[in-house]
Amino acid sequence: MYYSFVMLKPDALDRQLVSIIVERLKAKGIVIEIFDYRNVSEDVIFKHYSHVIAELGDTFKEMAINTFVGKYVIPMIISSSDENIISTVRQTIGATDPSKADIGTIRGDLGNDNMEQATLERRCCANLIHASDSHEAYLSEAKLWFGREYGKL
């Protein structure tokens, strides 16, 4: 089996899209190994987005606080027999900016926000879901959200 990490963001929960998104992932052969429901702390979200904070600084910190802190997310460890699980999941999710995501992807079909508007409003784009972009990111995110690494990629 091969593993990755995904997290349903507060907007997915607020819009009651959890079951729809999970079913879309399962349709691609994804198995939910571990599923949690977490209230997000400042410390955890700063660690999760440390690479973005390093690039964008305090502006992104403020955006992350407004978008995540005190709200709920659903972090998940997922698996598949597909050795390309990370790219498969990211293709299934679609482009970071929902307004630019292809029809047929989660963000393209269910998204209702765009990066330009989010930036103007100094907030993170409501794009429903996060997915690891590399094996190293998966290991780091699994450890951060679940306290240890799971499986191998």
**pLDDT tens figures, 18-47:** 999 999 999 999 999 999 999 999 999 999
Total of domains in the chain: 1
The answer to whether position 152 is within a domain reads no
Supply the pLDDT for residue 76: 97
Is 126 among the domain residues? yes
Catalytic residue numbers read 130
Any idea which of 36-40, 54-58, 111-115, 125-129 has the lowest mean pLDDT?
Answer: 54-58
> 9 lies in a domain?
yes
Its domain, for residue 18, covers: 2-39+74-146
| Residue tagged 């990629």 (tokens) | 153
Whether 15 maps to a domain, the answer reads: yes
Please report, for the domain that includes residue 19, its CATH number.
3.30.70.141
pTM of the model: 0.93
**Per-residue model confidence (pLDDT) at position 96:** 96
Does residue 137 sit within a domain?
yes
In this prediction, residue 151 has a pLDDT band, given cuts at 50, 70 and 90, of low
% the chain with pLDDT above 70:
97
Confidence check: pLDDT of 153 > 50: no
Q: What is the pLDDT of residue 122?
A: 86
**Residue 59 belongs to a domain:** no
**Mean pLDDT of all residues in the chain?**
94
Residue 68 lies in a domain: no
